[in-house]
Structure 1
Amino acid sequence: MRTFCFRKSSCVRVILSAAAAIMQIGILTLVPDAALAHGERNQEPFLRMRTAHFYDVKWSTNEIPVNGEIVVTGKFRLFPIWPVNLPLPEAAFLGNGTPGPVLARTESYINGVPAIQSTKLELNRDYEFKTVLKGRVPGHHHVHPMINVMGAGPLLGPGNWLTVTGNESDFKLPIKTLSGETIDNLETWGLGRVFFWHGLWVAIAIVWLVWWLRRPLLLPRFRALTEKGGDRSQLVTSTDRLFGAGLLVATILIVFFGFQATDTAYPRTVPLQGSRATVEPLPEVPEQVKVVVNKSNYDVPGRSLRMNVTLTNSGSTSAQLGEFLTSNQRFINHEVSQAMATVDPNYPKELLPPNGLKVSDSRPLKPGETKTVDIEAADAAWETERLSSLINDPDNTLGGLLFFYDEHGKRTISNVSGPMVPVFTDPDNRTAENPKGGPG
């Protein structure tokens, strides 16, 4: 044990990690249909708070059969305080986050433009997306909208559970080509040719290996190379050279005639697309309410984010703070009926912290008015979603969106960001379950 473990604590951590891994493998083996979700929890908080914020996300259904379709729609805003250690979204691709290829994506759009190619996205602008997914593998799957940014990786939106029923063997993906030909199932189309060509090249490789392995290899060749008077001419004989030349000619002929046959069978081909689509962002809507963060703290024992902000209403209508969104968590101000009305009953409950958003003064902000309020978002989600690890981030900067509503229900969105200072003691003994403090 001394050879491998320099400290007892290190040994304990290694043993516990190995045991946890073995237990997880055992669980997945015993329950093969189990689907794990919330992989976004492994992403660093700065990545989730200051890249893409998804909102108005809807799933058309929560259960489909194999070959059935689900439509995921919504919007996202690329945060203006983009992390400096990440590449800018010069090349981004709209995808979907699922536990493997359990769904087939048949359509995808950004602002109505087919998103079959990567595109450049602008910071501090909004985009509307739509993806159509087809059930492929039965099970209980977690489905996310997702943006892949070159150099930054996947940026996941909110996830919802989807049940796919039926038999996997019934799955089909029919398409109609530009030439009018109908393919019954794209998933199995052309597999015969794939198997044939792979099998042919594997067979040629095996013949080549067997040709050399049929004779003793190591000792005779070693002696021929090292011993004085060794006969090196027998290492590669004239028969070997003749066989190698014949195999080379046969390979060239196979490639040539194979190309000719394929070109004759499929005269119309489309090259791989290397360009990028151009997608204009949604029309820019000025922020009606300017938000200045005076102070922000994260209460570690209370699992609560507290912000002191100054709000200035530069619009012609009143504005009432109804929601704070960050890292796909929606903190709703229960005192604002317009905000509560936007919550879909089928929206994932784990993304709606029950304590909601507490605002010291929830009265509507009149046109031209400026006031300072305290905002508190207290919930265990800061720990369960691993967002509290933001306190270990070098710049400790939070980011999110504030949603304001006027008396007619019209909504405007403002960015909110600022440094966050962790607080490790709470003299009032406030927690997420006991937000007012006092004895627990």
Structure 2
Amino acid sequence: MKTRRKAVKQIIEHVEAKTKKILLSLLSLGLAMSWLPSPSYAVQGMGAKSQEAFLRMRTVVFYDTQFSFAPTNRVKVGEEFSCTGKVMLMPTWPEEIPFTGISFFNFFVPGPQVLRKAIWVNEKYFQFNSVVLEKGGTYAYKMVLQARNPGIFPMGPMLSMEGAGPFIGPEEFLTIEGTKGSFANPVKTLLGNTVDLENYGTARVITWTIFTTLIGVVWLGYWLAKPFTRRLGLVAAGRKEELFNPLDRQVCFLFTVGTIVIVAAAALITKAQYPVTIPIQETKYYIKPLPPEPTLIQAEVTDATYDVPGRTLSFHIQVKNVGDKPVVLKEFLTANVRFLNPDIPGNTWNPSFPEVNGGPMKVSPSEPINPGETKTIEVSMQSAEWENQRLTMYNETTNRFGGLLFFTDPSGTRQIYAIADQIVIPKFGAAIGGGM
């Protein structure tokens, strides 16, 4: 019996030693990796295609997007650039997506590669808080940014809405030239001091990070030094009252009191060093949408189909010209993919467009719609981008599409018509159903 107990004890001690060694190795590896610099790699887009098609096509549409660095797509570290455009919140918002209206205009980029200097909404609202937007409203934005780190990065406008998530606009790849150490971000404080936000307070942050990490390591080290496997056995045997001895309780008390004292003392010291502070602002303010553009047409989509083998979206739309000049359908924009009507002179693709080139849009009949005339036209767009951009819709639970139709008259006046709630009937071809 004694021999058996001795063997079990040796096994337990062996397991304890192995477990302790593995845990200490993992802890050391984690600490070492936490101090390693992040690897530099080329980012291949922002992953907007991972979002559902109905989410990108029927919620928020960005248009008239322009980047000041086009067409070279190159800036230097420290150089400022801008992004301007408009965004429409679709009037027929999907019931599957909550609409709160509480939003924030932002600029997406993988990591802190650029510095956001300012954002204006509707040319007069300098945005530093969340804003409340209207369903069906159109808003103009201007973002001023500054290049911070060298590299090649995708970037573009973005609208984040509470409860609905981020809506990503068209993106461009920007090459930032120069060296990282040459960037500075001087700011004058309310007290008249000038500080460089690029490195202001960095030493304090690093010091506190190291200090608190050491406290955590000592805490873990104390408990890992205990017979780990034996403690698990005590819990399994229902003898958990034997887990803590008087020394353990004293150590817990010292760590608890010491942590509270350190945090309180640090807060008092910081308050004494920086007596003038401003709390983080939480105000949300309402912004009226832009006035609607001139009314040229009245329109209604009657049906829509998607030819799966042919990768073709087609729909019929009944259009009534209520203006005093003939109008034509110039383009269709959805989910940052742009389709142009080639029958309009000069309506060709410009390489500086930040949207994806969806290809030509066939409009039949192609003749202009005269004043007072009502005509049903068929719009057809055959493009591989329906598949490439994951906008096929037939394999989603919400089989509807949306986007913006751009009509124009000879003077260049345009009418934007939003379609956002038309069901799409998929056509799989005769080969699939031929055997039924």
**TM-score above 0.5, yes or no:** yes
How large is the Cα RMSD of the aligned pairs?
Answer: 3.0
On the 8 A contact 1:146/1:156 being kept in 2, the answer is: yes
* Matched residue, 1:353: 358
1:153-172 to 2 correspondences below 5 Å? 153-172=165-184
Which stretches in structure 2 are left out of the alignment for 5+ residues? Answer: 1-38, 432-436
Secondary structure class of the residue paired with 1:164 = strand
Q: CA deviation at 1:369?
A: 1.4
Identity %: 37
Q: CA deviation at 1:70?
A: 2.1
The alpha-carbon distance between structure 1 residues 249 and 426, as it changes in their structure 2 partners (threshold 3 A), is closer
* Matched residue, 1:69: 80
Equivalent of 2:409 in 400, 406, 425: 406
Secondary structure class of the residue paired with 1:130 = strand
Task: Determine whether 1:364 maps to 2:375.
Answer: no
Equivalent of 2:58 in 50, 53, 63: 50
* Matched residue, 1:297: 305
Equivalent of 1:197 in 187, 208, 224: 208
On the 8 A contact 2:65/2:85 being kept in 1, the answer is: yes
The alpha-carbon distance between structure 1 residues 79 and 339, as it changes in their structure 2 partners (threshold 3 A), is farther
Aligned-partner Cα distance in 2 for 1:203–1:165: 39
TM (norm. structure 2) is 0.80
Aligned-partner Cα distance in 2 for 1:422–1:217: 62
Deviates more, 1:146-155 or 1:214-223: 214-223
Aligned-partner Cα distance in 1 for 2:260–2:390: 58
* Matched residue, 1:383: 387
Q: CA deviation at 1:305?
A: 1.3
Task: Determine whether 1:37 maps to 2:37.
Answer: no
TM (norm. structure 1) is 0.79
Q: Deviations over 1:208-237 (max 9, x none)?
A: 455566666764997899799xx96x9533
* Matched residue, 1:120: 132
Secondary structure class of the residue paired with 1:376 = strand
Aligned-partner Cα distance in 2 for 1:295–1:227: 70
1:234-383 to 2 correspondences below 5 Å? 235-237=244-246, 248-285=256-293, 287-337=295-345, 339-340=347-348, 344-348=350-354, 351-354=356-359, 356-383=360-387
* Matched residue, 1:142: 154
Q: Deviations over 1:68-100 (max 9, x none)?
A: 222110001011121111110422111122233
Aligned-partner Cα distance in 1 for 2:133–2:288: 8
Q: Deviations over 1:82-141 (max 9, x none)?
A: 111111042211112223332222212221312222222111110001112222232222
Task: Determine whether 1:132 maps to 2:152.
Answer: no
Secondary structure class of the residue paired with 2:97 = coil
Deviates more, 1:330-339 or 1:79-88: 330-339
Equivalent of 2:122 in 111, 118, 134: 111
Which stretches in structure 1 are left out of the alignment for 5+ residues? Answer: 1-30, 428-440
Q: CA deviation at 1:338?
A: 6.6
Higher relative contact order (CA 8 A, sep 6+): 2
Aligned-partner Cα distance in 1 for 2:295–2:282: 37
On the 8 A contact 2:133/2:286 being kept in 1, the answer is: no
